[in-house]
Structure 1
Amino acid sequence: MKGGSKYQPLLDYLLRSDRPEVTLTFVEIEAIMAEKLPESARTHRGWWSNRSKGALQATSWMNAGFLVAALDLDSGKVTFRKPPTQYIVKRVGDTVIWHSDLIKALRQHMQLSQTEFAEKLGVRQQTVSDWETRVYDPRLSTSKHLTIVAEQAGFEYVEENGQTYSENS
């Protein structure tokens, strides 16, 4: 990220944090930045989305290794959280059972939006959203496809028996 970005102080603050989770008020973020947040940050949830393209503010927290985990627009608070470094998976036979957190982690590992991830998988963006929000889980056939995509992307996970798995390791 450019040193001249107004969100650089937030990036620096988060990089210095040794905590896995940081909750800040909008006022605290403004003090860190020495600049006011745009009005859209106070009124639109989308401003706080963890997107890797076209959003300098998201780039600041994502480059520091954090994601927005919780947002309360009414009280003006945001919680940044470092994602887990290991994901424990269950298998049925030889098929990994993909669930909402695992799917979202894979998508974020690949630095793709829901739309881009959906295109890669050959499904609709709404399907990815439904998986990530626990409306329903993918079918076993889709889970096999997700496993292949994860292997190609070098996404690592740990099986319940403690064995680490990645095609690229």
Structure 2
Amino acid sequence: MSDMKQGSKYFPLYSHLQQAAGQPVTLTFSQIEQLLRTNLPRSARGRAGWWSNRSKGAVQASAWMDAGYHVQSVDLAAETVHFAKAKLTYTVEKSGDTVLWNRGMIKALRQHMEMSQGELADELGVRQQTVSEWETGAYAPSRATSKHLGLVAERAGFAYEVGEERP
């Protein structure tokens, strides 16, 4: 599940992207306004930064990021925006027979499972804050938790290769 709330102004954009099922999507600003049933703010037409893929402080970015997309490009003159499936790059490392779960792998697993940080925390029996700290790199999971993450990943069909960088 995502964090995007149904009552949000940008929920219709989120829904539209969800229905695209990972296919690239190009929309005009007018098409987005038709989806939203309201005008975009003036800054959306005047500043490319309004379309940035930022995870804090931008409700509009949550709409596409929670749907698993990133803005690949925006053309302010043509008033078009191109969305593509977000790709996370992470490196898989091992110590003995234990995969060392890092911030990129944890976030990729969570997104693969279509879970919020809180939902993954519930699945693992930890606090949401703990998952957040793992994803920011403030802390790393313990060896025991890494084994648990491996079992959860296997059950979810999350494939990863040891020693390879995954796009």
Instruction: Tell me the TM-score normalized by structure 1.
Output: 0.58
5+ residue gaps, structure 1: 18-27, 51-56, 70-77, 165-169
Query: Secondary structure of 1:136's partner?
Result: coil
Offset, 1:45? 1.9
The residue that corresponds to 1:144 in the other structure is 147
Is 2:24 the counterpart of 1:15? yes
**What is the total number of aligned residue pairs between the two structures?**
129
The runs of at least 4 consecutive aligned structure 1 residues that moved more than 3 Å come to 8-12, 28-32, 78-88
Q: What SS is found at the alignment partner of 1:159?
A: coil
Deviations 1:36-81 (A, max 9, x none): 2479x97x7262465xxxxxx348x72xx52479xxxxxxxx9966
Q: Distance in 2 between matches of 1:81 and 1:133?
A: 24
Aligned residue among 105, 110, 119 for 1:107: 110
Relative contact order (C-alpha < 8 Å, sep 6+): which is higher?
2
- TM-score by length of structure 2 reads 0.59
Give percent identity, aligned residues only.
42
Match of 2:87 among 84, 88, 96: 84
Superposition CA RMSD, Å: 4.0
1:47 aligned partner: 59
Aligned partners of 1:86 and 1:158 also within 8 Å: no
Change (3 A) 1:98 1:68: farther
Q: Which amino acid aligns with 1:159?
A: V
